[in-house]
Amino acid sequence: MSSEGRLGDPQFGLSSSGGIEAIDLKTLWRLVRGRWPWIAAAVAAGIAVGVVNYLISPKLYRATTQIQIEPRNLVPSPDRNPWIEQWTNMKYFPTQYRLLRSRGLAERVIEDLRLDTDPAFVGEGRKAGSEPVTAQEDELYKAALANRLISGLTVNPIEGTELLNLVYVATDPKLAADLANGFANAFIDWGIESRSETLLQANRVLGSQIENLRRDVEALEVGIQKYSREAEVNATDAGAGVVGQRILSLNEQYSTASATALAKQQRFNELASMRDLLVAENFGRPALETLRNELESRQRDYQARLQTFKPDHPEMVELDSEVQTIRQRYQREVAAEAAKLRQAARTEWEAARQLVDRISRQRAEAQEQSLALNVEVLPLTNMQMELAAKRERLSELIESQSQASLSADVETQTRSNVHVIDKALVPGGPFRPSLRQNVSLGASGGLMVGLALVFLFHILDRTIKSGEELESLLDLPLLAAIPDMGSDGAGYGQRAYYGYGRSKRTGSKGGKRTTEDEGPVAIEMLPETRPRLAVSEAYRSLRTSLLLSSAEDLQVVTVTSAEAGEGKSATATNLAIVMAQLGKKVLLLDGDLRKPRLHRIFSVANGQGLVNCLAGGADPSTLIQNTGLPGLHLLPTGVHPPNPSELLASERMRQLVAWARKSFDFTIIDSPPILAVSDAILPGTLSEGVVLCFRANQIERDTARRCVEQLRLSGVKILGMVLNRYRPGSSYHYDRRYQSYEAYAESQVDSAA
């Protein structure tokens, strides 16, 4: 089939008008409505899967600890400004986030909380024979536990702040809270220990340098004494002159000023590297201590009341506002005091440095004068100057070591730069799986699967289901759609009864009628036995549509189908019955010489009939049998002939049809299926037209097309189509048409009564 033919196929809910394809939503809606049990079953299955998944999935609990990480520096150094450097280092916070998820921190948490022996974390413990026997195996086991511990941790920084949330997910609620708090505490302790270790390492380096300088000073002192003896010059002689005395005085002043400047610089660097809070608390005004105590008192009061009231309680909101006000005031006071102390320290350092520079220039001038006056004391003077410089450097290093020790003590004794803002609480219930979410996802998934199955099977199904589809496919008028009255699946060609039973009224109780099944009702005789049913009304509609289908007077009509079992014999029989009900003289001719059925429908003998007229030249008027219905006459086939096609194509067949036009008001020929044999074409050429019968949900589109094309190629006029065993629900238009019959048609029970 070409793609062009498929685009306009009603099966896909597409229409092609003017070359533009549009989705027919009504067709899609009818498709979904017709297969709603499939969709409902898929949705129910999806919900069941969601519920089962919820029941079998382990319950996960989530606990969150909120912490604050403030940037800070480690060891002050005279060669750089660590305060500015640290704040300009944009890698600081990402590094801290990575450290929080490091294996080393996880192993520390395992040791702090003893998780390697906690059944809630380890589970049932190690299997027998799996205990590590070597140090390497034990290390690998701890690493595996650490990686497992890290898998439940999530670090969520709060953008634009120094805050972040440590979220831990575990199958035990208490374990989740303990691990969230454990990571925060371990990170704080780890940071303090790391900084202390760094400061101690700096002290060791400074100690090594001091020891080397001391050895150099001792060596210079020995050298000065040796030179004085050999050159018969002593320190007194060297400094006897005015210039020598001035040089010695300036050297002493330079050493004192350098030591003072170094101390001032160390103090400034210490204040610059420390946080505002540490500067203000250790070197600031005592009044800040009172303000800090007040803030901590209010915070403790807030945490105590939080055990009773919720955070949005008016009293808690007011108390929180007071805490925030005091905190802001405290932060402003701390920042101002720290800035003031740093500025004062910088001013003192600058003054001391200027003094050192001035003394250095004076000493240089005195040394030049000394060299000019006395060359003999020059080596001694140089050694004395070098000794003074070494002593000066030694004093600087000793001062740096003292400051580093002080910083280490301050860092160890004061609070960490990582603060816990909100501790994790034991969660009251699991956050995953969620029954509502599982049911929603299951229902959505089931709905999608159901819709997919409906559309998939509908696309794979090439059968015709509705009259609209049949008209659009073949471009022929639909004369009637005969509703399907049962669900047993029996075909028309097998004497289908549609599952309707003959019922009789057996009595009433409480105003309700009861019925008793008397057996099935034959579809072929329904317009006579149940004239007020909707199916009978459909055949009368067929009669009306057929009479209006042609401008010419219809006398001979052939009823056929594409394949066997599509209800052509039932259609021919019921059409003949409703025609006879108009008071017309109707002849029903059984033209299916291969598989005749009309004699069985009317329960008459089939010893003689059409074959006798065509083969033996018998008078047809003598072979016509009475059907028991007023105005309806039957000409059966007679004995089975060996050459059906030749008989139907004979001249006697033409003469028989001409005789029927003169003798009867209306003649209906029951013809064989078109695609099964070629016999159906022959009666069609002798009649005014052909009525094509198709069975819904059985005839395929390609089959229907071939049938119509074969009739058109043979020059047979097609009056219209009949859709048998049509099931309401596949077409909204025809549903409404046949639902309207119910207002005029009596129920089965009433008709049986």
At 264-277, the pLDDT tens digits run: 887 788 777 777 77
Q: Is the pLDDT of residue 399 over 80?
A: no
Q: Which pTM does this prediction carry? A: 0.49
User: 689-695 and 718-726: which strand pairing?
Assistant: parallel
Give the per-residue pLDDT at 196.
67
Given pLDDT bands bounded at 50, 70 and 90, which one contains residue 179? very high
Give the per-residue pLDDT at 505.
39
Give the per-residue pLDDT at 47.
92
- pLDDT, one tens digit per residue, over 56-113 is 888 889 999 999 988 765 444 444 455 555 554 567 788 888 989 999 888 889 888 8
Cβ neighbours of residue 689 closer than 8 Å, sequence gap 6 or more = 549, 550, 554, 557, 558, 716, 717, 718, 719
The number of CA neighbours under 13 Å toward the Cβ of 699 is: 36
Say how many C-beta atoms besides its own lie within 10 A of residue 109's C-beta.
24
* Listed range (245-254, 425-434, 476-485) with the worst mean pLDDT: 245-254
Distance CA 612, CA 622 (A): 11
Q: What is the SS3 assignment for 343? A: helix
Span 742-749, mean pLDDT?
41
Cα torsion 342, 346, 349, 350 to 10°: value is -170
* Listed range (61-70, 498-507, 545-554) with the worst mean pLDDT: 498-507
Give the per-residue pLDDT at 676.
82
Give percent of the chain with pLDDT exceeding 70.
Answer: 76
Most confident of 71-80, 310-319, 495-504, 685-694: 685-694
Q: Is the pLDDT of residue 703 over 60?
A: yes
Higher pLDDT, 82 or 26: 26
Given pLDDT bands bounded at 50, 70 and 90, which one contains residue 456? confident
- pLDDT, one tens digit per residue, over 335-346 is 888 888 888 888
Give the per-residue pLDDT at 463.
83
Span 598-619, mean pLDDT?
89
Kindly report the average pLDDT of the chain as a whole number.
Answer: 78
Give the per-residue pLDDT at 408.
58
Distance CA 482, CA 396 (A): 113
* Listed range (36-45, 210-219, 335-344, 379-388) with the worst mean pLDDT: 379-388
Give the per-residue pLDDT at 373.
57
Complete domains list, the chain, with CATH: 1-30 (no CATH), 467-752 (3.40.50.300)
Give the per-residue pLDDT at 707.
92
Contact criterion met (CB below 8 Å) for 217 and 390: yes
Q: Is the pLDDT of residue 27 over 90?
A: no
Higher pLDDT, 490 or 416: 416
DSSP one-letter code for 437: H
Say how many C-beta atoms besides its own lie within 10 A of residue 670's C-beta.
27
User: In one letter, which amino acid is 101?
Assistant: R
User: In one letter, which amino acid is 411?
Assistant: E
Give the per-residue pLDDT at 728.
67
Distance CA 51, CA 418 (A): 43
Distance CA 250, CA 246 (A): 6
Span 443-467, mean pLDDT?
86
- pLDDT, one tens digit per residue, over 667-697 is 999 999 988 887 778 888 899 999 999 998 8
Given pLDDT bands bounded at 50, 70 and 90, which one contains residue 321? confident
Q: Is the pLDDT of residue 48 over 90?
A: yes
* Listed range (194-198, 259-263, 518-522, 674-678) with the worst mean pLDDT: 518-522
The enclosing H or E element of 328 equals helix 314-373
Given pLDDT bands bounded at 50, 70 and 90, which one contains residue 480? very high
Given pLDDT bands bounded at 50, 70 and 90, which one contains residue 503? very low
Give the per-residue pLDDT at 486.
58
Higher pLDDT, 214 or 648: 648
Query: Residue for token digits 């974390």?
Result: 121
Q: What is the DSSP string of 190-252?
A: HHHHHHHHHHHHHHHHHHHHHHHHHHHHHHHHHHHHHHHHHTT--HHHHTSSHHHHHHHHHHH
Span 219-228, mean pLDDT?
76
